[in-house]
Amino acid sequence: MQPLDKQSTRLPYVLKGSINGEFDDFIRIRYDDQIDSVEVINNSFQFEGEVSSPKAFRFTFDSITTSDVFYLENDTLVFDIIVDEVKLDQDTFKDYEIRQLSGGKTKDLKAYMNTLLKSSSKSKKNRSLLVKEIDSLIKIYPNHDYLGKLLSELSMKQYLLYTDIRGLVSKINIDELNPHDIGVLEKYQQKRRNYQIGSEIPSFELISITSETVKLRSELSKLNLIIFWDSWCEECKSKQADLLEIYRSYKFEGFEVIGVSLDTNQQDWITAVSQKSFPWKSLRVESGFTGKMASEMGIVDLPQNYLVDKKGRIIEINLSLDELKTILSALLD
């Protein structure tokens, strides 16, 4: 991947494109606290301006701000926008499909990072590699808006842990980044701080297969792998199947696995547990992702796992099977 250019004091940009469909109004872009607008003439538009560093922006049509995020940077950015009419019941409204055809390096950076994350399962080893990757990007371009969004996503989905993110953030001027992304980052960093390695997981109340309320602490053995999953997550079920050999090897040495489902539907959960017949304990968070345990711990992406001791103290987070086996061998053999 080619590095982004070093930032200059001001970055001039040109943003232009064509409109395919009926649209004869002003088109607007929103970035930071600013709104710029230009008139669409002969189905074409062009913005010109400067930013202090690459900035996230969204298009606004009429009163509709699109959800797609793009980046203003030192280049000519070319877009194709398709405007279509969609009917829903008796109402007709416009739909906007936006494609960035050329210009800018952020598009390639996002594609690179998305591919990297999809090919990297959560593990201690991959965390180290990911920290090095992002650290190199920060050194090259510390104030790029995309890095703020990327770090917020990595914290939210827990690809990186609290201390990893904290170390990377210390190298960025967060005042230059998108306030919304920083707000999301700070929200999840607080949750990660509360449940980092060395912290104790409280004795949350969970639901058993027989619909009884049980306290998490009452289910803990000497060492425990708490796995967050749900019946719709195929990766979750596949990883649990791969865990069977390790479980059988260490079950009688004081190792326990506790599957914590985030299914909101009790029957979906029971059916999945019955089909897989995993031999370990199965519990469920009432109300799923919005339930107390998932909400307080910031569990929004599956699967996730926590290795804890009998008191609920967190020993490690999101281990690969090989990493788990190494730790169990050291502590239980």
Q: What is the pLDDT of residues 246-256, one digit of tens each?
A: 999 999 999 99
Which of the four pLDDT bands, split at 50, 70 and 90, describes residue 237?
Answer: very high
Tell me the C-alpha distance between 302 and 299, whole Å: 8
Helix (H) or strand (E) holding 118: helix 106-118
Bridging pattern class, strands 55-61 and 70-72: antiparallel
> Which of 62-66, 121-125, 130-134 is least confident?
62-66
> According to the model, what pLDDT value does residue 8 have?
47
Tell me the C-alpha distance between 294 and 277, whole Å: 24
pLDDT for residue 24 is more than 70: yes
Beta bridge partners of 106: none
> According to the model, what pLDDT value does residue 32 have?
87
> According to the model, what pLDDT value does residue 156 have?
97
Place of tokens 């061998």: 329
Query: pTM of the entire structure?
Result: 0.90
Place of tokens 């469920």: 284
Q: Which residues fall within 8 angstroms of residue 24, CB to CB, at 6 or more apart?
A: 40
* Residue range 162-197, pLDDT digits in tens: 999 999 999 998 888 999 999 999 999 999 999 999
Residue type at 103? G
For residues 259-271, give the mean pLDDT.
96
For the chain, where are the E strands, in sequence order?
Answer: 11-20, 26-31, 34-39, 44-51, 55-61, 64-65, 70-72, 76-88, 91-102, 205-208, 213-215, 223-229, 255-261, 281-284, 304-309, 314-317
Contacts 24+ apart (CB under 8 A), 107-110: 108/1, 108/2, 109/1, 109/4, 109/137, 109/146, 110/146
pLDDT for residue 308 is more than 50: yes
> According to the model, what pLDDT value does residue 254 have?
96
Cα–chain center distance at 282:
26
